């Protein structure tokens, strides 16, 4: 059995708080990938391995599938 980890950072917190979450996760879990779900007006979050628009589940679900395979 293959073991994989992926953190998903949601969109609701302010951008600075989300960036701090990513920095904290990267410091403690350097090999774990992070997917940031973003609103349409903020398409990328610094430090995330993957970025996806929140209202595009086809996009971010395919990222989750690829990240965990």
Domains of the chain, by residue range, sit at 6-67
- Measure CA 40 to chain center: 15
Q: What is the pTM of this model?
A: 0.79
- What pLDDT score does 4 carry? 60
- What pLDDT score does 1 carry? 46
Is 46:25 a contact under the CB 8 Å cutoff?
Answer: no
pLDDT per residue rounded down to tens, the chain (69 residues): 456 688 999 988 999 999 999 999 999 999 999 999 988 887 789 999 999 888 767 777 788 788 777
Closest CA to 11 of 66, 51, 62, 59: 51
Mean pLDDT of the chain: 86
Strand order in the sheet with 33-38: 6-9, 33-38, 50-53
Could you count the other beta carbons within 10 Å of the beta carbon of residue 57?
12
- What pLDDT score does 2 carry? 53
């Amino acid at each position: 059995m293959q073991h994989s980890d992926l953190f998903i950072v949601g969109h609701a917190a302010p951008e600075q708080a989300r960036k701090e979450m990513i920095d904290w996760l990267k410091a403690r879990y350097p090999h774990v990938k992070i997917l940031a779900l973003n609103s349409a007006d903020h398409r990328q979050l610094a430090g995330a391995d993957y970025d996806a628009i929140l209202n595009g589940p086809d996009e971010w679900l395919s990222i989750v599938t690829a990240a965990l395979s």
